[in-house]
Structure formats: structure tokens, C-alpha cells
Structure 1
Amino acid sequence: MLTINAELRKETGKSFSRKLRIHNKFPGILYGVGNSNILLTLDHNSIFNLQKQISFYQECLFLVIKDEKYKVKVQAIQRHSFKLKLLHIDFLHA
């Protein structure tokens, strides 16, 4: 099973997302029924390389946030229209 490392974030909005992308990171969210939403910051290169594998979309993944492991599935990914960049990712509690 694939493992993804993520960091918590508090800031939201377009300007903060742009600042993240300048530093080769991008925003994401973890949500699910009965759980509160968790705002995430993810490393672009590691996720970009993982998302090339079919198992990234079909299987459950482990998301590690501050030494806590969550079993998740990829719900949605937003990509830039012509650059090879990921803009946002949604994870769903599995």
C-alpha cells in the first residue's frame, strides 16, 4: 500500500495556494462522513510521481500527518490545463 506524507495547514485562499505552489507544494483536503475536514499541504514531486501508477487511484493509501496514519482513497485531483502541475487533491476517509 502506498504511503503519502502530508503537513497540516491553517491558511486558505488563492494567494496562499499560489505561495505553496511557488515552493513546489500544493493544497489538499481530507474529508469523510462523521469526520471533520483536515486541510493539507503536500509535496508536488512525490505526489506527481505516485499518481502515474494505476494503484494510486484504485487502492486505499496511507496518509501520514504528524505521526498519525489515515487510510484514504483519492476522490478528486485538479490539474493545470496545460502545465504538468497538480493544483489540488481531495482524499476521502476509507
Structure 2
Amino acid sequence: MLTIYAEPRKYNGTSASRRLRRLNKLPAIIYGSQTTPVAITLDNQIIMHNENKNSFYNDQLALVINGNKIIVKIWSIQRHPFKQKITHIDFIIV
């Protein structure tokens, strides 16, 4: 199982997400059936390095946020229209 470290996001919205992308960070969100959605920030370099692995898309991932481990799967990925960049990831709690 792949482990990825994340940080909670302080600010939400389009302009906050653009600021994160300029800092080589990636905005993401975690959805769950019994919990409220949690907005997080991921390191873009780690995601770009791991996205070439089949396990990144097919298997469960462990997200560590402030020391709490959450088991998730990728629900959807948004990509830039013509660049090879991911702009946003949605996770769902397993």
C-alpha cells in the first residue's frame, strides 16, 4: 500500500488552489459517507512520481494527515487540458 503525506488546507476556492499550484502543491479533497469532506494539500512531485504506477490508480492508498492514517481510493482526477499536470484529485474513504 502506497503511503502519501498530506496537510489540511486552510483556504478553499479557485484563487487559493491557484496559489497552491504555483508553489508546486496539489489541492485535493477526501469524501466519506459518514464524514464531512476534508480539503487537503499534496506535494505535486510525489504524486507525479507515483502516478506512473498501476497501484496508484487501482489499489488503496494510505493518506497521513497530521499523524492520522486514512485509507482511501482515487475517485477522480482532473488534469490540465494540454499540459501533463494534475490539477485536482478526489479521494473516497474505503
Aligned partner of 1:17 in structure 2 is: 17
Moved over 3 A (4+): none
* CA distance in 1: counterparts of 2:32 and 2:69, whole angstroms: 15
Aligned partner of 1:79 in structure 2 is: 79
Aligned partner of 1:7 in structure 2 is: 7
* CA distance in 2: counterparts of 1:13 and 1:37, whole angstroms: 14
Q: CA deviation at 1:65?
A: 0.2
Letter of the 1:46 counterpart? I
Helix, strand or coil for the counterpart of 1:36?
Answer: coil
Letter of the 1:68 counterpart? N
Q: CA deviation at 1:10?
A: 2.3
Is 1:89 the counterpart of 2:93? The answer is: no
Q: Percent identity?
A: 48
Q: CA deviation at 1:13?
A: 1.1
Q: TM-score, normalised by structure 1?
A: 0.96
Letter of the 1:30 counterpart? I
Structure 1 unaligned spans of 5+: none
Count of aligned positions: 94
Letter of the 1:72 counterpart? V
Q: TM-score, normalised by structure 2?
A: 0.96
